[in-house]
Amino acid sequence: MQALAEQTETKNVYDVLDFNLWYGNNQALKNISLQLKEKHVTAIIGPSGCGKSTFIKTLNLMSRLNPDIRMAGELNFRGENLLTTSMDLAELRKAVGMVFQKPNPFPKSIYENVAYGPRIHGIRKKKELDEIVESSLKGAFLWEEVKDRLNKNALSLSGGQQQRLCIARALATKPEVLLMDEPTSALDPISTTKVEELITSLRDSYTIVIVTHNMQQAARISDETAFFYMGELVEIGPTQRIFSNPEHKRTEDYVSGQFG
């Protein structure tokens, strides 16, 4: 009953249908069909080169930056196919924030890193910007560590703090979706734990998609897991089931560490 109630109540933010992507002649994604549920954390797992990064980058059309890429199928976001829509890219990027593997703060102050996005979207009043900076840094569990040095260069922060700053920067435009491409792979274990706790705290307010090579991480923080293999989606489902009772042998071999 509970599962049924969840199915009827949960909205899909993305509905991907028969999606294909080529880099020149090399097809990197093949007939991908899946839904990404609102306010769920979905982990994308699979061996190196299976198309995880390519997939996550298509969700905010970052892939459009590469002229060799061709895409076909449907990539519906809030019911609109991003491959044919006239939706403004800036609007899409505001709604769908992204955090990368390596922390990439701008070489500006901590404050300016977070205020950057809201400024671009027209917010000018200092008081309003101050509030956004504070709430975003609090949301990223960084406020207490930086509140007395907001004017210091962001590059003076540790790697883990820089990554949480990048998450604060993404939160500042009030996105609906957060895409994270291996956000902890460059971090030490303590910083990794902090970012994982942060993701867990954000799951009630945001739809999160995370690419990870770390099986324990996927099991700890995600609600749903999608297993990709050689450009294909092998299966997607509740994380607990994917790890304990997958439908496909290949998934079982991968999650149990037998290849990858």
Ligand X SMILES: Nc1ncnc2c1ncn2[C@@H]1O[C@H](COP(=O)(O)OP(=O)(O)OP(=O)(O)O)[C@@H](O)[C@H]1O
Q: Site residues (CB under 6 A) for ligand X?
A: 23, 26, 28, 46, 48-54, 66
Contact (CB, 8 A) for 100 and 178: no
Q: Token digits for 133?
A: 């900076």
Distance CA 168, CA 154 (A): 12
Binding-site residues sit at: 46-53
Closer residue to ligand X, CB minimum distance, 157 or 236: 236
DSSP code of 228? Answer: E
Binding-site residues for ATP sit at: 46-53
Q: How far is the CB of 221 from ligand X (least distance, A)?
A: 18
Closer residue to ligand X, CB minimum distance, 115 or 208: 208
Q: How far is the CB of 53 from ligand X (least distance, A)?
A: 3
Closer residue to ligand X, CB minimum distance, 50 or 146: 50
Q: Token digits for 73?
A: 């199928």
Q: In what order do the strands lie in the sheet with 69-77?
A: 26-37, 12-23, 69-77, 80-81
Q: How far is the CB of 250 from ligand X (least distance, A)?
A: 15
Closer residue to ligand X, CB minimum distance, 50 or 226: 50
Q: How far is the CB of 1 from ligand X (least distance, A)?
A: 37
Question: Residue 2, class by beta-carbon neighbours within 10 Å (0-12 exposed, 13-18 middle, 19+ buried)?
Answer: exposed
